[in-house]
Each structure stands twice: as structure tokens, then as C-alpha cells.
Amino acid sequence: MNAVPASGDRRRHAAPAHLTFFHGPMDCGKSTLALQVDHNQSRQGRHGLRLTQGDRSRAARISSRVGLSREAVEVDGTTDLRLLVRDRWAAGHRVDYVVVDEAQFLSARQVDQLAELVDQSHVDVYAFGLTTDFRAQLFTGTQRLFELADVVQRIQVEVLCWCGAPGLLNARVVDGVMVRQGETVVVADTAPDAAPDEVRYQVLCRRHHVGGQLGPTPTGPGQLTLAGQPLADGQVAVR
Ligand SMILES: [Zn+2]
């Protein structure tokens, strides 16, 4: 029988590597968790590579709504993720694990590349992404990660619909109205104070996503109305 190696004795090849996928709706704390995992890994003396695309900061960073931020490598649909890691190795850098934020934007081929890094190069991969797009359909990268990941975990940080029910789905809001058609990828934030004709996103429960009901206008003092109380003009009453 093989003894379990002491934690301080773990080398890169000592344990099988894993492809782990964390997913949830917008605002669920996905980028915060990505940075936390990166922090925990690096504290164990491991060396990581952080990847992102279309981060909210519009820069090559992983940034979270709670203010944490770290530099990352910006990838796009043409990036070969195996080559990215192997180039690091060729340059003399260690890469023990890869943290991928915004993993929903990966192509199926790129997810296959991550799986290859895990299986053939023993690199741990932690991917973080949105579950579904604004039409409540799986993103391409998310679907492939569901198919291939060793561990798939829904992020449990609770994000609530305006009605108080758990938020599951992302609504795209254009000019104050929920839309169901358009490009799959339009990067925008969930800030409720976006300019009126800007695209924003809002997390809703399934019932209110189906109904297209965005709830009371969340901006401005005194306008936040609890469900069941009278609503101001122009707001959608939902019971
Ligand atoms: Zn709701």
C-alpha cells in the first residue's frame, strides 16, 4: 500500500492533477473565488498562471467586485492554452496550476487543451465561469467544461433576485428592457446605475427570467420597493 505523502512533500507529479470547474450566475463571487484559489495555491509554494478574457476591468487582470485584483494573461479564441504553458516552461518558469476566469468564453477546443494539460502535463486547472447566457442557454466553454471536468461545482455564494429568491439566470437589459436576442457575448457590468441606453446585466430567479420582470428600479433612495408594496409608475408589479 502506498502511504499518503505528507503535505510538505508533495511534488508536481505526486498526485494526479484535476480539471475543476466552478460556475454560477453573474455577481456570485466567481472572480473573488478565483483569486482566493490562486492565493491558497501560491501560499503552498506552487506557481500559477492566471488567464482571463473580457474581465470587467477591460484589462489583463482578474478583478472582483469586492476590490481584489491581480494581473493575468489575456487570452482570446485563437490562443493555444497548451502552448501558452509550454512557452512558460521553455522560458524557465514553473507552472503548477492554471486559474482561468471567464471560462465560459473558452472554445470547446480550448477546454480540450486544458484537459490535455491536466492529463499529460499534470497541471491542475481551476476554471471559473458563468453557467448560462442571457437566453438561459449554456455558454460554449461552460458546456464543454461540464462534459470534461473532473469536478463541477456550483458556487454557493448566494446572489438574490430582486424578489429575494435565489438568482440563477442572467438577464441582459438594454434601455431598461430585458432582451432575449442578440450577440451571445456583450461584455457589460451589472451596475444598476448604467446609462439608460447601455447594456447591463441583472441576475434573476428562473420565474422572473421567464417573465422578463426586472423588479423595482434599483437606483435612487426611496425607489427600492419591497415585493408586495405599491410600486411607482412604470415599474413592473410582480406577485
Ligand atoms: Zn425573482
Average pLDDT across each block of 10 residues of the chain; the chain has 239 residues. List them in order: 43 76 92 93 95 81 86 94 97 96 97 97 97 95 98 87 92 91 74 67 94 75 31 32
H/E segment holding residue 171: strand 169-174
- Spell out which residues have Cβ within 5 A of ligand 1, the ion: 161, 163, 165, 205, 208
Radius of gyration of the chain, Cα coordinates, nearest whole angstrom: 20
Domain ranges of the chain: 15-154, 160-239
Measure 219 CA to ligand 1 centroid, in angstroms: 18
Domain at 15-154, CATH homologous superfamily = P-loop containing nucleotide triphosphate hydrolases (3.40.50.300)
pLDDT score recorded for residue 18: 97
pLDDT score recorded for residue 68: 87
Q: Which pTM was predicted?
A: 0.75
Measure 66 CA to ligand 1 centroid, in angstroms: 24
pLDDT score recorded for residue 13: 54
183 is catalytic: no
Q: Which residues contact 65 (CB under 8 A, 6 or more apart)?
A: 27, 29, 31, 32, 56
Measure 228 CA to ligand 1 centroid, in angstroms: 13
Answer whether 130's CB lies under 8 Å from 46's CB: no
H/E segment holding residue 87: helix 81-90
Distance CA 2, CA 12 (A): 17
Measure 124 CA to ligand 1 centroid, in angstroms: 37
pLDDT score recorded for residue 89: 96
- Strands (E) across 12-123 are located at 19-24, 48-52, 61-63, 69-71, 73-74, 97-100
Chain centre to alpha carbon of residue 56: 11
Measure 52 CA to ligand 1 centroid, in angstroms: 30
pLDDT score recorded for residue 189: 67
Measure 160 CA to ligand 1 centroid, in angstroms: 8
pLDDT score recorded for residue 58: 72
Longest Cα–Cα distance of the chain, Å, equals 72
pLDDT score recorded for residue 210: 95
| Given the residues 71, 74, 102, 183, the one annotated as active site | 102
Measure 74 CA to ligand 1 centroid, in angstroms: 34
pLDDT score recorded for residue 104: 97
